[in-house]
Amino acid sequence: MSIWGIYSCFYDLSLRNLFPYRQLLDDLSSALEVKDGERILDAGCGPGAVIERVIKENRGKTISVVGVDFSRGMIGRARKRCMKLPDVRLQVADLNRKLEFPDNSFDKVVCSNVLYALENPEKVLSEFYRVLKPGAAVVIANPKPNAGERELVREHLRTLRRLSPFHRRAYHMIVSILLIPVNLVVTTINKIILTRARNREYYFLDKGSLSRILQEVRFRNISISSCYADQCWLVRAEKWESGQDGEDRVSDS
């Protein structure tokens, strides 16, 4: 079994109880700025957490979501998670290959902590650009070059200490203790990922590199800020629309 196959068995259970990850889901959903009638692609949907959050936060809007992931284990977990959600389609697909969607198919593309592990980020972003409608947006979370786990754990514990009332804090403390074996597995896999990133097998990009790649693909109105306990970049960029002058904007947040 590959590293990602093993990861799929533990990833969701570990992260769903991590407070910085919950905040990341909120940040991604807010950055999408979903409007009624939109069609959204979750590229590298994993266990479906982003899909679930986006649909629940946009109740009352008629939206459809397509989730793709190369891991059959992740897609299986996403199907269980999203089975009661309206208008969700999930399929196995390799983001290193051309997407099997026509040009101008989606109003939004979201890609959370996936781009770094792909063979050619610029090629993947070009595919996102192709399937987006003119004027539509991509939202990406991608690790910073110095990303690690310590600050995530610190932020989780800081949030835990601030919880009230006491029974809520006690509940999450018990859950955190029970999940120690699961988190140890995830931590071990994350150390492998971080080692590969240091060896430049993965793309933990700085802000300048991200901005440059997005501009080369022809994205405009680029906004880049910190998220995930300052361990990731949160990127929002729009597809160039004929007849409009795009403004390149890189946030210093």
Chain segment 20-78, per-residue pLDDT in tens: 999 999 999 999 999 999 999 999 999 999 999 999 999 999 999 999 999 998 999 99
Cβ burial 81-93 (10 Å sphere, 16+ → b, else e): bbeeeeebebeeb
Domain locations along the chain: 21-146+203-239
Amino acid present at 161? R
Task: Give the DSSP letter of residue 100.
Answer: S
125-163: per-residue pLDDT in tens?
999 999 999 999 999 999 999 999 999 999 999 999 999
Nearest-CA neighbor of 91 among 51, 59, 58? 51
pLDDT (tens digit per residue) in 79-120: 999 999 999 999 999 999 999 999 999 999 999 999 999 999
Residue 110 β-bridge partners = 42, 139
Q: How many CA atoms lie within 13 A of 26 on its CB side?
A: 9
pLDDT for position 246: 46
What pLDDT does residue 209 have? Answer: 97
Specify the DSSP element, H or E, that contains 159.
helix 150-162
Torsion of CA 91, 42, 204, 156, to 10 degrees: -110
β pairing state of 106-112 and 39-43: parallel
Q: Which residue has the higher pLDDT, 198 or 228?
A: 228
Query: What is the CATH architecture of 21-146+203-239?
Result: 3-Layer(aba) Sandwich (3.40)
pLDDT of 8 reads: 76
- The per-residue pLDDT for range 87-96, each reduced to its tens digit, is 999 999 999 9
The radius of gyration computed from the CA coordinates of the chain, to the nearest angstrom, equals 18
For a pLDDT cut of 70, what percent of the chain falls above it? 94
Query: Considering the chain, what percentage of its residues have pLDDT values greater than 90?
Result: 79
Which pLDDT value is given to residue 242?
Answer: 66
How far apart (Å, rounded) are the C-alpha atoms in residues 100 and 118?
17
Residue 11 binned pLDDT confidence (cut-offs 50, 70, 90): confident
